[in-house]
A = this chain, B = another copy of it.
Amino acid sequence: MPRYTAPVKDMQFILHDMLDVSSDKTPGYGELDRDFTSAVLDEAGKLASEVLSPLNVVGDTEGCHLENGVVRTPTGFKAAFDQVREGGWTALDLPEEFGGQNMPYILATAVGEMFSGANQAFTMYQGLTHGAASAILAHGTDDQKQTYLPNMASCEWTGTMNLTEPHCGTDLGLMRTKAEPQDDGSYAITGQKIFISSGEHDMADNIIHLVLAKIPGGPEGIKGVSLFIVPKFLVNDDGSLGERNGVSCGKIEEKMGIHGNSTCVMNYDGAKGWLLGEEHKGMRAMFTMMNEARIGVGMQGVAQAEVAYQNALDYAKDRLQGRAVTGAENPDGPADPLIVHPDIRRSLMDQKSFAEGARAFLLWGSQLIDRAHRGGDEDAHGMISLLTPVIKGFLTDEGYDMTVQAQQIYGGHGYIEEWGMSQFTRDARIAMIYEGANGVQALDLVGRKLAQDGGKHVMAFFDMVKTFCKENDGEPMADFVEPLKSASKDLQAAGMFFMQNGMKNPNAALAGSTDFMHLFGHVCLGLMWAHMAKAAQAALARGDGDADFLEAKLATARYYMTRRLPATKMHLARIESGADPVMTLAAEQF
């Protein structure tokens, strides 16, 4: 049975040594001192490792079952969900007036990583509810907020996002689901939605579906899409549950992983829905959920990489196989542990340097979100808007690769289901796909975000890196600053190539979009590692904290700089080859 141990120490290091959150002037950050965050994270970590993690394999093995219209979740899920609800973990960052705890988003991200690492399929029920609640909070009427938010904050009711239809995923303009206005101000929703995570289940009294649909007679394509609130059970004026709405689960998909989450085909047969936000402005409202969801999916990439790494590390220390080439390290045993072998270490260091660097990226990104939302900081808003596709796309591509590497350390034992390593890989795979497949993230980054506000945010990013490098020039930071400088130069050169060639031929930029996203991601993780190295050096100089841990941070930072950052040159070379190699063949010639 795999284990999950919450990386509290690493999170504390990032929050306090690197980001110094309690000195941040953002509202709510003053309370985030070491003791407070430690108490929250310890408690959440305990729940993650003791309650959610043991159910991970159960969820995978049993899956969800549709019987007579009712979806049965795996054994133990409901009881665990009750524990999560009772502990008040469902609405850390929602406003107090709706039953939330009004904590910064950064703390919700840290806790979310733990829960997702322990049990991704389970945590999705809560995660989607949070996304739906955020959309209602941002776009709902007072009445809608009062009606839905308190029960969604507590997860007594859960939420869903309904975008995809059989013939359209990315291209939502092709949508066919209809919303016909009724005399009572509601709409009758008719159509089929697919791939609806947590679409139907037995863990909550009600399910609040947010559904994209077209009001007949509205504009063509994506501009005619509106967002609706469609509850499974209608809510009476006194807040009690009324009749069952015309929405039902037609099928649960068989899928590669996240078996514990019910992925449903949802049929809407004239279901009663209420407009959320404005008519034909559904995409805008949906994007409130989507942007949050994209950060959340990036988090899943990190979380699965972390838990897979933890187990691979245990195995590498325990499993005796072969001898160190430089002489036996366990001479009294029959063989040395796997961890003595350089290629096993190379893999473990890849994983460790990714998980910790990505965690820092995620928490820094969450700090930007707090600055934007709580502090009204427009620059922070622009920066996180730029970085969102990188967080989603890069962290899930890499996170998946890391689960594959972790699985590989187990040899044949990684391929059989008994050890749980296959599940981490299978579960992590979805994160590259949902909430906008990673190719779409790359397109968003290169086609939209780079040029947003006249390219202001990407310039701000480069300035930030440049300033950091200048301020930390020379010893003792040279080992970190020099590679970062070089990688950042590659990123700028790629941006320059797009500017010079993309105007004439957009394909010259788009052919390099995935490479650019990865190049950008490496620069971000390089920046994070440089920051962490600086924080570790400072703590060591002060004689503060666990010297072994801090020395490991420096060594891992060096690893990232020397072994991972060289990828930027490869991505740049690919980008600079432009559109021709990619676009030359006619479709028939493939």
Contact = CB atoms under 8 A, between A and B. Distances in A.
A345 B581 CA distance: 10
Contacts of A432: 408
A172 B342 CA distance: 19
B438 A408 contact: yes
Interface string A243-257: 000000000011111
A549 B586 CA distance: 11
Interface in A312-348: 313, 317, 320-322, 325-326, 334-335, 337, 339, 341-348
Interface of A: 164, 167-171, 173-174, 194-195, 253-257, 263, 313, 317, 320-322, 325-326, 334-335, 337, 339, 341-349, 352, 400, 404, 407-408, 411-412, 414-418, 422, 425-426, 429-430, 432-434, 437-439, 442-443, 447, 505-507, 510-511, 513-514, 548-549, 551-552, 555-556, 558-559, 562-563, 566-567, 569-570, 573-574, 577, 579-590
B417 A254 contact: yes
A408 B422 contact: no
A426 to B, nearest CB: 7
Would you call the interface of chain A mostly helix, strand, loop, or mixed? helix
A174 B334 contact: yes
A461 to B, nearest CB: 22
A415 B169 CA distance: 13
A83 to B, nearest CB: 29
Nearest to A556: B585
Given A322-B171, A412-B164, A437-B411, A581 B558 contact: yes
A590 B559 CA distance: 13
A581 B349 contact: yes
B566 A573 contact: yes
A456 to B, nearest CB: 23
A411 B433 contact: yes
B342 A507 contact: yes
A581 B552 contact: no
A587 B577 CA distance: 42
